[in-house]
Structure 1
Amino acid sequence: MVRTPRKETRENCHVAFAMKYYPKRDAYIVNKFVKEHSHRLANSREVPFLHSHRCVTESDIAQSISMRKASIKTSQTYDYMVNQAGGYMKVGFTSKDLYNRMELERRQVVLDGDAQAAISYMNAKAIRSRNFFACLV
């Protein structure tokens, strides 16, 4: 299957801000500053949805995990958080961000649980069978 190429979304923007530390002066001095953008900037309604401005905090994850244990779906948890924050603009992340973090947390629990399950299995097998030997480091 041949995919059609994605639309080019990168801009050739030459905005730059560079500083250099001068030990003799014990100061940072701006040595390059270009403020002209070659594209339109995000307006105030778009800023909360920029990748650089989105963050699912540890407290959001803890709350979401607690709600998951109470059989509340991730989509319902996100809706609750949006209500709690006062709207989509103020929640600080998108529903996809929350789904991604929850999946990451779930995988971590499974990885930790799988390793522990394997060790427990090996230990139990070693106790039951004299011919079985497991060296777990």
Structure 2
Amino acid sequence: MYTKLDYRSGCKAKLQFSISSDGEWTVSKHIIDHNHAFCPIGQRHLLKSHRGVDREYLEFIMLMKESGTKVSDVHRMLQKQAGGVSALGFTKRDAYNVLETERSKTVDGTDSNTLIGILKKRAEVESDFFFDFELVDGVLSCFFWRYGQMKSDYERFGDLVVHDTTYRTNKYDMICAAIKSVFPGARHRLCTWHIDENSKKHIMHLARR
């Protein structure tokens, strides 16, 4: 079970308005006492309330990514063009997040949506967790995830395990069902080349006896 970190301090400071029937705004309540230190001016652009990716930026980032440019390179260029990340209004992580949100809108299939939802929840509560995925014609084609221990292990040992797209593809017996209904009269044969190759790997020691 993953528990989301809670940064709330119970601060009672607030600014409350009342709106009259003619649309006039009036301050009805103002509590100025805070129970925490203020965010330094130089870090205010990092606050969630101060960040956001405009639609124009999003479309530009998507276009550049489709052209083969890395999101990190696009963000670096936009940051330099705007005069710094504080002037740009969003971080590199924000760019990745908004792209993931857009892509998740086109993913079809219950399993795919569930998977992406789980990965997103872990990314929210684990600072070292990272994931990404790719779509082909709106269908999930591949995905990648990494948590803190994986990163640490890779830095120490350099080993990597990769599963191809056929890994556990018959979990729900979908392939067998399709063959049975679409090709009911098909004859199934074993390839002699595969038999020969597998025999060399698994029973060659018996042939030597």
TM-score normalized with structure 2 length:
0.46
Say whether 1:18 aligns with 2:16.
yes
Q: Describe the shift of the 1:93–1:16 C-alpha distance in structure 2 as closer, same or farther (beyond 3 A).
A: same
- What's the offset of the Cα at 1:6? 7.3
Say whether 1:97 aligns with 2:94.
yes
Alpha-carbon displacement from aligned partner over 1:29-83 (angstroms, at most 9, x marks no partner): 3221111111111121111110000010011111111111220011111111111
- What's the offset of the Cα at 1:8? 5.5
What secondary structure does 2:41 align onto? coil
What secondary structure does 1:46 align onto? helix
Q: Tell me which amino acid in the other structure corresponds to 1:107.
A: S
Q: Tell me which amino acid in the other structure corresponds to 2:59.
A: A
Quote the Cα distance in structure 2 between the aligned partners of 1:11 and 1:90.
29
How big is the alpha-carbon RMSD for the aligned residues of Structure 1 and Structure 2? 2.6
- What's the offset of the Cα at 1:114? 4.8
Higher alpha-carbon deviation: 46-55 or 12-21: 12-21
- What's the offset of the Cα at 1:13? 1.3
Which of 19, 35, 49 is matched with 1:38 structurally?
35
What secondary structure does 1:29 align onto? strand
Quote the Cα distance in structure 2 between the aligned partners of 1:26 and 1:81.
39
Quote the Cα distance in structure 1 between the aligned partners of 2:97 and 2:49.
16
Q: Tell me which amino acid in the other structure corresponds to 1:10.
A: R
Q: Tell me which amino acid in the other structure corresponds to 2:91.
A: T
What secondary structure does 1:45 align onto? helix
TM-score normalized with structure 1 length:
0.68
Q: Describe the shift of the 1:83–1:35 C-alpha distance in structure 2 as closer, same or farther (beyond 3 A).
A: same
Which of 70, 75, 91 is matched with 1:73 structurally?
70
- Give the unaligned 5+ runs of structure 2: 109-136, 140-209
Q: Describe the shift of the 1:17–1:82 C-alpha distance in structure 2 as closer, same or farther (beyond 3 A).
A: same
Higher relative contact order, structure no. (Cα contacts within 8 Å, ≥ 6 residues apart): 1
Which of 56, 61, 65 is matched with 1:64 structurally?
61
Q: Describe the shift of the 1:28–1:85 C-alpha distance in structure 2 as closer, same or farther (beyond 3 A).
A: closer
Quote the Cα distance in structure 1 between the aligned partners of 2:20 and 2:48.
33
Q: Tell me which amino acid in the other structure corresponds to 1:51.
A: K
Aligned length: 111
